[in-house]
Amino acid sequence: LCPGYRGPRLKLIRRLKNLPGLAGRGKTSNLGEIRVATDQSTSRKISQFCVRLEAKQRLRFNYGLTER
């Protein structure tokens, strides 16, 4: 395994909405916007834990950090 491998980039960009550290090409920049439009049909209250976890994961994947 390569030491610089950071996982499935497109899935992360789609889930965490447009990370500058991962999105280098023009095609991947629109993926976050597509998911936002489809998610607006279901309105659920997002828990505080989920908000904090997404912020933590966004930082981790953007800068390529690990838990250790």
Q: Are 60 and 16 in contact (CB under 8 A)?
A: no
Cβ within 8 Å of residue 18, ≥6 positions away: 29, 31, 32, 33
Whether 4 is covered by a domain: the verdict is no
Residue 49 lies in a domain: yes
Q: What's the domain range around 44?
A: 9-63
- 43 located within any domain: yes
| Residue 1 maps to a domain | no
Residue 30 domain-assigned (yes or no): yes
Q: Note whether residue 33 is domain-resident.
A: yes
Structure tokens at 15: 């889930």
pLDDT at 24 (0 to 100): 60
Residue 61: strand, helix, or coil: helix
Supply the pTM of this predicted model.
0.50
How far apart, in Å, are the Cα atoms of 54 and each of 25, 28, 33?
Answer: 23, 19, 17
Let me know if residue 15 belongs to a domain: yes
Domain count, the chain: 1
- Walking along the chain (68 residues) 10 residues at a time, the average pLDDT comes out as 66 75 55 52 82 87 77
